[in-house]
Structure 1
Amino acid sequence: MGTNGGIADDLVRAREALLSPGPGQRRLAPEALRGALVDLHDFWLASRAAAIGLAEGAALVAVGALGRRELVPHSDLDLVMVHDFGKRAGAGTDADRLAEALWYPLWDAGIGLDHSVRTPGQVMQVAATDLRAALGLLEARHLAGEQALFDKVNGAVRQAWRAGIRNRFNELVEFTNDRWVRNGDVAHRVEPDLKNGRGGLRDVYLLDALAAAQLVDRPGADVAAARLLLLDVRTELHRSSGRARDVLRAEDADEIAGQLDMGDRFDLMRALSGAARTVAYAVDTSLRAAKGAMPRRGLAALRRAPVRRPLDEGVVEHAGEVTLARDASAAKDPALVLRVAATAARTGMPIAAGTLTRLADTAPELRTPWPRAAVVELLSLLGAGRSLVNVVEALDRGGLWGRFFPEWGAVRDLPPRDRAHVWTVDRHLVETSAQAARLTTQVARPDLLLLGALLHDIGKGREEDHSVVGEGLARQVGTRLGLPDADVDTLAAMVRHHLLLPDTATRRDPDDPATISRVVDTLGKDPRLLELLHALAEADSLATGPGVWSPFKRRLMADLVGRCRAVMNGEEPPRPRPLDPAAQEMAERAADSGRAGVVVLSPDLPEAGEAPGEDGLCTVLVTMPDRPGTLSLAAGILALHSLEVHVAELGSHGGVAVDTFTVSPRFGRMPDPAVLRESLAKALDGTLHLPEALARKERDYAQPAGPEDRVPPRVLWFDDEATGAVVLELRGTDRIGLLFRVAAAVESCAADVRWAKVETLGASVVDSFCLVGPDGKATLSRAQRRALEEAVLTAATG
């Protein structure tokens, strides 16, 4: 095939034709494309091997994707040339000559190649010492050359794998766990690694390896379907990106979903989540089964089989797993399934796969209302903390969890719409329950906290407001559990209002009595409900993603709840706080001198230059002549000195702007206030050009955001009917000086800012601004809002 100048040119052209068919040519579906790529490379390699005389005494072997017949568009070719030329003169030279004649045309054509040349003895040595190589050799397939040589080596590799698995099993488990830690879960990552993540393709190949060791059966139809979906998505990812990629990014998912006729990226991610969870569960159960099926030798063969140790009524431990006692019957004991689950969560032991199957086959539906014993076991399960997660996953994969909560089907594998969430909705509910278990001692009704945590987002996956839908579903579940009417009302209110406290704390002015009255009236002046919602908000934030429950948010929430509790207890509604005496004194000095002032006010920070307090927050007071642009100017100075602003409260006194900022250092310690004052003075007199200085700061210190970290900015509007406030909320990607740029954009539209709050969620940020129009009224026309929105979005992306 081909000429001496480009032996593999025809192979490259044929590959390109398959990947990019011309006008009028049919675009191959993913599975057909993989098959065509395998056939193409098999034919070229076999023809090339024949042309160079690779025959008796040598064999060309495919491993990896080509060996599995799962070649995706930009996979490397993994090839091994095995030779048995013995010790005759020139044997090594002959092997090298054949290998070079095979490899060089592929290299010259730019085709990715992983290659080796080995004798049968070297193959066995590598398989015995390199676990990754051993797993690859289990997938070997003969391409050309001596078939008998391949059969001999292939048989020896498989026999050695079966015979040595006992000594390699722990290494295999550790190797797998390390990979999971590095790459995360396919099922729950917003941008999953389809190949290396937990539940990905390498786990499918692990199941094949365990079956090759004759420790478990070949994977079933459900794993085969999951494998096919993972392969199809990876195939389209390679085809659309034009290169080898395993991480599915959000910006690629919509196109791939369209190619696979799966709607949008959320439909695709939901299907992927289900597939990955199927694979992950199969791996978990197979590893346990393999460990139990391991050949026993030496002294281990003389030890007695493990005994069955009672754990609870009808529940025993056997070989490190939770299983049923011999006389246990789910038909006679309605709480048995939940007792098994609660015992597994309490002990940290997995439920035996056979037990799950038996329970799924024999357990009847729980009648409404549930028996009290079943409710007790459910609460015991939910209160178990982190071990709850794996138990619920096992029940769900075994078809049992949906029997208890039919409402679960709408949120199962449902991907999050909010980028701050790292889990699918169903996993987020379980994670929230696990977090809530840590907070049960802080509330009077821990049972309602656990149930509310489990159900707070159960209304998602529908078109309507999930809190409203969830309220009705929570009533449905509470009634099914047999809760008293008052408890059903409280549970429903928890789900309906689970966002009330965090939204109010971050989008409303807590100094305004109308804000507090709104929360108190919404909750019916019920301090027990307020307490439950406070704990639920913390658990919900902790289960959302890293950084969501920040010291800043904790302080805002505690302040809001304290004010609401005071009103519920009959105390006077809070009044707007007067200007601090120290701030008044600073303002008067600034008015007399015409110079700016900066001071750090914090009970946790007695001296400037010290580290911030336990929650990492400090208060910075800034005074300067009152004029348009004070917020952007002060925010720019703080950003220039690596201070992250969380809250900005703006005021004035005697013609002087008095702005109070809650800040934390991005790194290191607080800067000296004198340094901040000097920079502010330079900015005021024009000797410091803030936009240029911040641009240099961003170039020098900012971590560059990759495509997967960038969030298209979005503006939302909130009109508070209680206070009359208008709040503009910006959601986007965080960057140094973002508050400066956005505040300047707002000020350029002649709008005044009453206060600003900034919430950073990993690489994302949520900035809220309470605005007043140019006429001083807390109303903005549609045209004013449109102009503000355009200016803010331009600032956020510029």
Structure 2
Amino acid sequence: MVVGGELAKAANRLLEGRHGRLGASALRAALVDLYEFWLSKAAAAAGVDTAEPGVALVAVGGLGRRELVPFSDLDLVLVHNQHPGIAEIADALWYPLWDARIGLDHSVRTPGEALQVASEDLRTAMGLLDARHIAGDAELTGRLATAARDQWRRTARKRLPELAESTRQRWQRSGEIAQSAEPDLKYGRGGLRDLGVLEALAVAQLTDRPGEELRQARELLLDVRTEMRRELRRDRDVLSGVDAELVAAELGFGDRFTLARKLSGAGRAVGYAVDVALRATAEVPRGRFSRRPSRTPLDDGVVLHGNEVALARDAVPAKDPALLLRVAAASARTRTPISHGTLRTLADSAPELRTPWPPDARDSLTELLGAGEGLIDAVEALDRTGLWARLFPEWGAVRDLPPREPVHEWTVDRHLVQTAVEAAKLTTTVSRPDLLLLAALLHDIGKGREADHSELGAAISLQVARRIGLPDSDAALVSAAVRHHLLLVHTATRRDIEEPSTVARVAKTVDNDVVLLELLHALTQADSLATGPGMWTDWKAGLVANLVNRCRQVVQGKGFSPPEPLDSRRRELVASAVASGRSEVLITHDGKMATVVVAAPARTDLLAPAAGVLALHSLEVHTAVLRGHDTGRAGIFTASPKFGSLPDPALLREQFARAVAGGLALEAKLAAKERDYQPTRVSAKPKVLWFDDETSGPNTVVLELRATDRIGLLYRVAGALQSCGAEVKWAKVATLGAAVVDSFAVSPRGGKLDPAWRQRVEQAVLAAAA
């Protein structure tokens, strides 16, 4: 027989291909045959044979599945029926393998002991599903394998939470295969361990057997792992860029970039399948009297059904082009997956968004991009079902595109999404968060082609911005941000920023536009953070900030503009309110977008009551303008219902009047509403900026608040200003996705406009926005 050392030599000869190099699949089959031959001979010599019933050698793991890759441990179980000499048999089997330095994961158990361990240890339970007879009592092996599968089928549903948690913890430790520059082929999300999870769920008859797409993904992952280990001559599961070059050549992929794209696609298919399977199996009703999952409204036509985002019963996808984006935004905002059925319905029924997109679709896109970490899974769900490509046909050029630079942690498409995630944390640093988020998503969209990716990306982003309906001036800003997204970091780290000519050149490049300068500053940080660890250091941040501050001094731009004067119809409404001494309300609407004008005498507090009533009815304020006229003032609000239809105008008028008169308990009502419905938002620290304003009169200054939107935010901020004795002469509010940029021209009532007053106001406003 072949002893342990000779077994190792025989395995090496297979790896070296002395008798002809075997392909990856053939090599695995040859290794399985070699080890089975040796183990059967060794088992017979040790006393494990059919002449001695009650002892069997069983393979699990890679050998059990006939998927043995080079330098894998052997997973073996010596099963017995209380055999008195089992210790001696085990020693005779294990020691030659140890002497040959062959990795061994072994156990010696009775069938009862094996099943008991499987009932307590999830890894053992799943391992026994691969049990395959090697030597000895085949009937004993068969009984154990059958009993293990029966036990798994009986208990799998109870163990699903444990399985899901262990799977997600593994993903957290090992990262993803899809879109990763150095994927972990075994343990990463979308890897071989996940295929084992799918097989286990299928054995438990909770899901169907993996289909052809997943079978091909398994073959690719196994082939890459096999060739990598053959080339490296050691056990390794993480594929580096250097190793990928060798593996790609052996597998006939031409270069590592082609291989990386294939691997990313395979990992996405497997990862998505596992995610769907875990959700689907976790939500199967437990009995005929089980309570149905609740349906909580999230947006117009969108509900939270159980723990998935789904379509409302009255939603009509075929007549609602923006529904797709509202579903995605709700999923990203709440960090809740979209149901598979909803994705199928949208893929089959959702109409194309025509150019230009309607405003509500554009707003939902901004909300989606500003949702933070939830954006990643939402985009992946849309991408897997072809819906993301409908929104952005240009995405195909960068989908699964591996990075050319070794510092990048992700594929290009994932890097773009990750940059938007980082940009969402910086929305309060810019006056146009909507443009920042779109530029973040598109800044590398020109990669993967024979052209300067910044110039090509600028042209593509201009096309996208116009398609989604941005005005020409905004589309040009997005295009410029993409064109110059490397300007600040390259200048700050490669040029002398103390030199006036350097600063002047940057200011000229950004066309002396302070808004573009802000966008580039935030985009530079987001891009670096999304590239990989250590790419955004304090040193680099300091250099870029210094350059931006010097450019700002040159540009000297203003960050706000006061609202337009009232038109004749609204001036008449103000005159009527002054004459009657009570508030007057005018409500008009175009579809679900309502314009509410509230007029009152000059000294009446108007902003907080009106904002409170709108929030109470789940009306999302898109813009709000407060303007004075003669001895009165008017607030003009554009708002739309977050879900459902517009409230009864008569009810709104009655509640506005009560709120302005102080007869409506808005504070308590809004607090209760926030407890019941407050979507998860990305954390962006609120920021206050001050601007001197000579146009609004003496003793007046403009406060600009940049913050993350939340229920009743405008109401609380208005209350904070009032509590500090700040008279609001005019206000201009803009809600841009999940962020707001609110400007208030304020002056101290009977006080002095000094630094101490400004500090009190700023602290109160920041506390209200936190």
TM-score by length of 2: 0.69
1:109 Cα deviation after fit: 3.3
Aligned with 2:8 (options 6, 9, 12): 12
Q: How does 1:727-766 map to 2 (within 5 A)?
A: none
Aligned with 2:113 (options 119, 122, 125): 122
Indicate whether 1:29 and 2:23 are aligned: yes
Indicate whether 1:480 and 2:471 are aligned: no
Indicate whether 1:61 and 2:58 are aligned: yes
Aligned mates of 1:278, 1:104 — CA distance in 2: 42
Indicate whether 1:433 and 2:405 are aligned: no
Query: What is the match of residue 433 of structure 2?
Result: 446
Aligned mates of 2:87, 2:371 — CA distance in 1: 62
Q: How does 1:277-676 map to 2 (within 5 A)?
A: 277-293=268-284, 295-296=286-287, 302-569=289-556
1:309 Cα deviation after fit: 3.0
Q: Secondary structure at the match of 1:559?
A: helix
Aligned mates of 1:210, 1:164 — CA distance in 2: 11
Aligned mates of 2:142, 2:16 — CA distance in 1: 37
Aligned mates of 1:321, 1:10 — CA distance in 2: 56
Q: Structure 2 counterpart of 1:66, which letter? A: L
Query: What is the match of residue 99 of structure 2?
Result: 108
Change (3 A) 1:9 1:567: closer
1:558 Cα deviation after fit: 1.8
Indicate whether 1:44 and 2:38 are aligned: yes
Aligned mates of 1:438, 1:108 — CA distance in 2: 56
Aligned with 2:126 (options 129, 135, 141): 135
Q: Secondary structure at the match of 2:146?
A: helix
Query: What is the match of residue 202 of structure 2?
Result: 211
Q: Structure 1 counterpart of 2:108, which letter? A: V
Q: Secondary structure at the match of 1:117?
A: strand
Aligned mates of 2:359, 2:125 — CA distance in 1: 54
Q: Structure 2 counterpart of 1:69, which letter? A: R
* CA-to-aligned-CA distance 1:397-428 (integer Å, 9 cap, x gap): 22211111111112112222233322221111
Q: Is the 8 A contact 2:48 2:135 kept in 1?
A: no
Q: Structure 2 counterpart of 1:17, which letter? A: R
Which ranges of structure 2 fall in alignment gaps of 5 or more residues?
559-770
Indicate whether 1:99 and 2:87 are aligned: no
Q: Is the 8 A contact 1:186 1:200 kept in 2?
A: yes
Aligned mates of 2:522, 2:480 — CA distance in 1: 14
* CA-to-aligned-CA distance 1:137-190 (integer Å, 9 cap, x gap): 111112222222222111111121122224322222232222222222223443
Change (3 A) 1:29 1:294: farther
Q: Is the 8 A contact 1:215 1:293 kept in 2?
A: no
* CA-to-aligned-CA distance 1:246-305 (integer Å, 9 cap, x gap): 122232221111111112223222222222222211111111111112745xxxx74422
Query: What is the match of residue 82 of structure 1?
Result: 79
Aligned mates of 1:105, 1:533 — CA distance in 2: 65
The one of the two structures with greater contact order (alpha-carbon pairs below 8 A, sep at least 6) is 2
Aligned mates of 1:110, 1:32 — CA distance in 2: 24
Q: Structure 2 counterpart of 1:68, which letter? A: R
1:542 Cα deviation after fit: 2.1
* CA-to-aligned-CA distance 1:98-119 (integer Å, 9 cap, x gap): 3333333333333222222211
1:482 Cα deviation after fit: 2.2
Aligned mates of 1:528, 1:388 — CA distance in 2: 25
Aligned mates of 2:147, 2:386 — CA distance in 1: 41
Aligned mates of 1:231, 1:73 — CA distance in 2: 11
Q: Is the 8 A contact 2:514 2:557 kept in 1?
A: no
Identity of aligned residues (%): 60
Q: Secondary structure at the match of 2:382?
A: helix
1:310 Cα deviation after fit: 2.9
Q: Secondary structure at the match of 1:293?
A: coil
Indicate whether 1:187 and 2:178 are aligned: yes
Aligned mates of 1:304, 1:170 — CA distance in 2: 19
1:17 Cα deviation after fit: 2.6
Query: What is the match of residue 757 of structure 1?
Result: none
Query: What is the match of residue 626 of structure 2?
Result: none
Q: Secondary structure at the match of 2:426?
A: helix
Q: Structure 1 counterpart of 2:370, which letter? A: G
Q: Structure 1 counterpart of 2:284, which letter? A: A
1:440 Cα deviation after fit: 2.1
Change (3 A) 1:558 1:144: same
Aligned mates of 1:202, 1:337 — CA distance in 2: 33
Query: What is the match of residue 230 of structure 2?
Result: 239
Aligned with 2:254 (options 252, 263, 268): 263
Q: Secondary structure at the match of 1:323?
A: strand
Which contiguous aligned blocks of 4+ residues in structure 1 show a shift greater than 6 angstroms?
A: none
Change (3 A) 1:349 1:156: same
Which shifted more, 47-56 or 491-500? 47-56
How many pairs are equivalent?
555
Which ranges of structure 1 fall in alignment gaps of 5 or more residues?
572-798
Query: What is the match of residue 728 of structure 2?
Result: none
Aligned mates of 1:377, 1:145 — CA distance in 2: 65
1:352 Cα deviation after fit: 0.5
Q: Secondary structure at the match of 2:59?
A: strand
* CA-to-aligned-CA distance 1:453-506 (integer Å, 9 cap, x gap): 110011111122110110111122112212222222111111111111111111
Change (3 A) 1:437 1:13: closer
Change (3 A) 1:231 1:53: closer
Change (3 A) 1:363 1:446: same
1:53 Cα deviation after fit: 4.7
Q: Is the 8 A contact 1:198 1:280 kept in 2?
A: yes
Aligned mates of 2:42, 2:427 — CA distance in 1: 70
Aligned mates of 1:154, 1:209 — CA distance in 2: 14
Q: Is the 8 A contact 1:226 1:276 kept in 2?
A: yes
1:15 Cα deviation after fit: 2.0
Q: Is the 8 A contact 2:513 2:557 kept in 1?
A: no
Q: Is the 8 A contact 1:215 1:294 kept in 2?
A: no
Aligned mates of 2:428, 2:108 — CA distance in 1: 65
Aligned mates of 1:476, 1:38 — CA distance in 2: 56
* CA-to-aligned-CA distance 1:735-794 (integer Å, 9 cap, x gap): xxxxxxxxxxxxxxxxxxxxxxxxxxxxxxxxxxxxxxxxxxxxxxxxxxxxxxxxxxxx
* CA-to-aligned-CA distance 1:224-266 (integer Å, 9 cap, x gap): 2222111111101110111111122232221111111112223
* CA-to-aligned-CA distance 1:681-701 (integer Å, 9 cap, x gap): xxxxxxxxxxxxxxxxxxxxx
Q: Secondary structure at the match of 2:76?
A: strand
Indicate whether 1:168 and 2:159 are aligned: yes
* CA-to-aligned-CA distance 1:528-557 (integer Å, 9 cap, x gap): 211211121122122222332222222212
Aligned mates of 1:475, 1:145 — CA distance in 2: 71
Q: Is the 8 A contact 2:198 2:277 kept in 1?
A: yes
1:47 Cα deviation after fit: 3.9
Aligned mates of 1:221, 1:473 — CA distance in 2: 36
* CA-to-aligned-CA distance 1:421-450 (integer Å, 9 cap, x gap): 222211111111122222223222221111
